[in-house]
A and B are shown apart, each in its own frame.
Chain A
Amino acid sequence: MKKVVVPCSGIGKAFGAVSREATHLLTEGTHSSDYRTLCLPLLMTEDAEIKRVIEDSEVYTIDGCPAKCASTLVEHAGGKPVMQIMVPKVLAVNRDHKPNTVLDIGDGGRLLCQDIVKIVLGGGGKER
């Protein structure tokens, strides 16, 4: 079964755009056979099929801000993320990888996405 990556996709902040882009790197790139994503808003609609997927899968969440929408909604749907990644905490490790804006995350943002991909591929089980 594929692992599931759930980004917050926050539309108001560059970190949300980074979470989304990092997810697409995992689910559409060379690792697409191992990872899939799902629509976060679907977790708000009590969709039975998506709840089953969340409950039965190894779930990674990527959140852009302390509201932790992705992690909160996964838990709301009955899941328990094996790894909860906070984008600002990843940036804190390498401050050169700072994203520009929500419209264009820029080169720094793209490097930050790569950092997140490495963390996910490195395995889970704890909050970053």
Chain B
Amino acid sequence: MSFKPKVGIISCSGEDCPGGSISRDATLVVLHQLRATDTVTICLPLFLAGSGAEREFARYFPTITVDGCRKMCAAKGTAKYSSEPAVKINIEDYTGAACTDDEGKRVLSEDTRVVEKVANDIASHVDRLRSEWR
């Protein structure tokens, strides 16, 4: 049986815009429900504050970054401190609106559909990355 790596899901979890809450919730859905045995997460700040193991994982295994806004902190941080993500997701591409800090930060009921859509897309990317692994 060939080796299939776990895929790292790295969420921005941005505290200052609702897109960060959506990215965090979608990531947790994948980690705990949709692909619990195929994925791991890494606290994004640990790339800088951690021991180095986090950087090593993302250097050798595929990662998916999930960002709440166009600043793309998770994608940039992962690329800067470890390696280029295999997939970069921006929540604004799903909501069709710019994420601003004028809005409430929590996920609202109308956002749950976006969370579900993003989570399903992440799960599809996980399946593809694992099947393409050589």
Interface residue tally of chain B, by bracket? Answer: 20 to 34
Are B14 and A42 in contact, CB atoms less than 8 angstroms apart? Answer: yes
Does the CB pair A39–B105 fall under 8 Å? no
Which residue on chain A has the smallest CB distance to residue B65?
A: A41
**Given A41-B74, A45-B73, A103-B32, A69–B14 Cβ distance below 8 Å?**
no
Q: Does A37 belong to the interface (CB within 8 Å)?
A: yes
Interface 9-residue window, one of A7-15, A81-89, A107-115: A7-15
- Asked if B98 lies at the interface with its beta carbon under 8 angstroms from chain A, I say no
Question: Which listed segment binds A: B39-47, B85-93, B109-117, B119-127?
Answer: B39-47
Task: List the B side residues contacting A18 at CB < 8 Å.
Answer: none
Residues of B with C-beta under 8 A to A47: 71
Residues of A within 8 A of B41 (CB): 11-12
Flag whether A80 is at the interface (Cβ < 8 A): no
**A side interface size, CB within 8 A:** 32
Q: Which residues of B contact A12 (CB under 8 A)?
A: 41-43
> Do residues A11 and B47 form an inter-chain contact, with CB atoms below 8 A?
no
- Chain A residues lying within 8 Å of B74, measured Cβ to Cβ, are 41
Task: Count A-B contacts at CB 8 Å.
Answer: 100
B 47-83 binary contact with A (CB < 8 Å = 1; else 0): 1111000000000000000001001011011001100
Contact present for B13 and A20 (CB under 8 Å)? yes
B contact residues around A69 at 8 Å (CB): 43, 45-46, 48-50
A97 CB–B CB distance under 8 Å = no
Question: Which residues of chain A are within 8 angstroms of B27 by Cβ–Cβ distance?
Answer: 11
How far, in angstroms, from A41 to B17 measured CA to CA in the complex? 12
Q: Which residues of B contact A79 (CB under 8 A)?
A: none
A44 to B28 CA separation, bound complex (whole angstroms): 22
Q: How far is the CA of A70 from the CA of B45 in the complex (A)?
A: 8
How far is the CB of A12 from the nearest CB of chain B, in Å? 6
User: Is B15 a contact of A39 with CB atoms below 8 Å?
Assistant: yes
Contact A11/B28 with A16-B43, A39-B12, A44-B81 known, Cβ cut-off 8 Å: yes
The reply to whether the CB of A67 lies closer than 8 angstroms to some CB of chain B is yes
Given A44-B81, A103-B28, also A11-B17 (CB < 8 A) = no
Question: Is A24 touching B46 in the complex (CB atoms < 8 A)?
Answer: no
Apart from A27-B105, A103-B28: 9 A-B pairs, beta carbons within 8 A:
A9-B13, A11-B13, A11-B24, A20-B13, A39-B68, A41-B12, A44-B76, A45-B76, A76-B49
Q: Report 5 cross-chain contacts, Cβ distance below 8 Å, ordered by A residue.
A: A40-B44, A42-B14, A45-B77, A47-B71, A73-B45
